[in-house]
Structure 1
């Protein structure tokens, strides 16, 4: 089969994708045998999927979580976190957390819109906030939470041919999930699932 040529995207493509219909996702939607309890309470959270200008198009900012964290240590993630009482909404939470985690000033962020929320296995309802950062800023990782801040080409993580479906045993059962590896970076789990939702909206 001929491999699809890599396609670059611009801000107009992203805005158009946000106007298309979409549906919520979860850490469990690739595992139909999992039965989630009715009436479960999920904590709202926001993550910032921020794109910046790269050499060959837009790049996406990602982080590697600190190995000292209780949840998802060492995994690749968007900057972001749970919505606090002081946050007006999940977008405000994403902007605040990105400032705290990687030093991104909120005033530099142009919010483009949001993707449908994603339910995680840790009880969060995470809303991906898509944004553009047109000016350079000094990256200042919060070492207690972030081990590394790096960029990947947006065209790579929004190409469906770069996704691999894998499985591993989790809580006594096999769990299936997406991965979208890039160089030494193994992007998987909730981050890859949210990126795959974004990918499907771009097609």
Structure 2
């Protein structure tokens, strides 16, 4: 793994050579992000333990959006599913046999989970390296810009791209309990950030998003997926929700690549 991924945590920044947290995304900044991400893409399917895999692949989308004319990242809280229920995640899932490649997987899963068609999604680049999930699937991250409006075709335009309205998303409630966003300004607010380790590696920023979920979310006791249930002696985590684990790690890689963390 390259030194930029292993380096010690840096203080968050409000701007970099690529973008500013106060300026909405446009085609110019998206092109710069895509170029930077593609330069840091690693390997076909390298797992965290150094092995390779040609099967059991999945892909997730780190969705960039403009909301109220501010650049932001869109997140979802998983519904009452078999794995990782109630956790923050990105749209995505396992590659189907009918998917010609992982880009098609990302587009299909994004359409199925939040109703965004390919005309409203512009994939920027894969980045990584991919990681192995708890279930053993190799998960490839992609970044893309999405909107609830059809995206313009003039990719040289430096005008702000259209805003996304979360209320206009067609959310599949069987898989997604709710959606929320964090602006890049919020993601660089140190009051939200806590040091955390990902699988024994140097720390990354774990992001507190407890204020982003409605009151009814807290009616069910919460335990982490690798801990015992409450009936087995587990501890109720209470009113704290964080972006951590694989989602947090991929967010960390993205923010490091664009120079904001």
Work out the CA distance in 2 between the residues paired with 1:71 and 1:80.
14
Say whether 1:148 aligns with 2:211: no
Out of 173, 176, 182, which is 2:209 matched to?
182
Say whether 1:97 aligns with 2:116: no
**For structure 2, which runs of at least 5 residues remain unmatched after alignment?**
1-10, 22-28, 150-163, 212-240
**For structure 1, which runs of at least 5 residues remain unmatched after alignment?**
30-35, 171-175
SS of 2:256's equivalent in the other structure is helix
Work out the CA distance in 2 between the residues paired with 1:180 and 1:22.
24
**Higher gyration radius (CA):** 2
Cα offset for 1:11?
1.6
Work out the CA distance in 1 between the residues paired with 2:95 and 2:243.
24
Say whether 1:20 aligns with 2:34: no
Cα offset for 1:115?
0.9
Out of 56, 59, 68, which is 1:46 matched to?
59
Cα offset for 1:40?
7.2
Cα offset for 1:37?
9.2
Change (3 A) 1:38 1:22: closer
TM-score, normalised to structure 1, is 0.76
- Aligned-pair Cα RMSD in Å: 3.2
Work out the CA distance in 2 between the residues paired with 1:163 and 1:90.
31
Say whether 1:55 aligns with 2:68: yes
Say whether 1:200 aligns with 2:256: yes
SS of 1:97's equivalent in the other structure is helix
Work out the CA distance in 1 between the residues paired with 2:133 and 2:84.
11
Cα offset for 1:87?
0.7
More strand by share: 1
SS of 1:45's equivalent in the other structure is strand
Paired residue total: 186
